[in-house]
Amino acid sequence: MDDGTKMSGSNGLVLCTESFTLEEHYILIKVLKVNFNLDCNIQESSRYRIYIQSKSRNKLLDLVKPHILPHFYYKLNL
């Protein structure tokens, strides 16, 4: 529940997936698109992370909110 962040100046969300290879990021993004119809891309900082585009934010929140402890709602601006 604690390995992600919201983007400042955007409604998009970032999954902190820096430990995965670039190839694995492409696989993860495909899984998110095929299984959940989430629009994502790869964000490169010092390493790679998955950025969930703002247009998919509400869809993601609908999927994960029932599983998030209220203590972590601030991470999603809930």
pLDDT digits (tens, 9 = 90+) for 33-42: 999 999 999 9
Looking at residue 4, its pLDDT comes to: 58
Torsion-angle region of 14 (φ positive above 0: left; ψ -120 to 50: alpha; else: beta) = beta
Give this prediction's pTM: 0.80
Please check the confidence at residue 55 and state whether its pLDDT lies above 60.
yes
pLDDT at residue 59 tops 60: yes
Position 77 scores a pLDDT of 74
User: Could you report the per-residue pLDDT of 13-51, keeping only the tens digit for each?
Assistant: 888 899 999 999 999 999 999 999 999 999 887 889 999
Range of the domain at 11: 4-76
Question: In angstroms, how far apart are the furthest CA atoms of the chain?
Answer: 34
Q: Considering its fold, how many domains does the chain have in total?
A: 1
The conformation of residue 38, written as its DSSP 8-state character, comes to -
CATH of the domain at 72: 3.10.28.10
